[in-house]
Amino acid sequence: MTREEIIQALAGMPASELLEVRRCADALIALSGSTLRGEERSWELDCVCDALARRGLGAQVAVWRRSGDLADFRRRLPDLREFLTAAGNRDAQQAVLTEGVDLICGQLASWGVVVTARSVVRNLDKLPAVLDRAYPGYAASGLLGWIGGIRR
């Protein structure tokens, strides 16, 4: 089916069905990792989103990614990359980031803060501290890559 045929089919649908089509399209966009606003891809963003989706926040992640409101994440990305470099290769960095996101979620919940994609991203700067609290001395000793059990 061509794009024009799809548009013609959509034109004849009632509003309630169009809303369902939109929800389905949003889910497909989130699964593909792309957005309507040309978001630049990064494995770190994918990793954070995957970790949040595993915690049951997939729908929020889809809306957040689609909104294009990634300024907080982009602002924190250079410091995050610098910290994660000490973990070693990409697999180790992903394991450390995933564990860190889980720890941040736990910390936010313990503070009584609602855990959302935005609240986690706004607290990504606390990643080194929460990892150090859970794994004392690992980062300072160069053992950060061992957190996920993946060191290459």
pLDDT tens per residue, range 1-55: 777 778 778 888 888 887 777 777 766 655 555 443 444 568 888 888 888 888 8
Contacts for 90 with CB less than 8 Å, ≥ 6 apart = 43
Q: How many domains does the chain have?
A: 1
Q: 12: buried, middle or exposed (CB in 10 Å: 19+, 13-18, 0-12)?
A: exposed
Residue 6 forms part of a structural domain? no
pLDDT of residue 31: 54
What is the reported pTM?
0.69
| Domain carrying residue 126 | 33-146
Q: Report yes or no on 92 lying in a domain.
A: yes
pLDDT exceeds cutoff 50 at 142:
yes
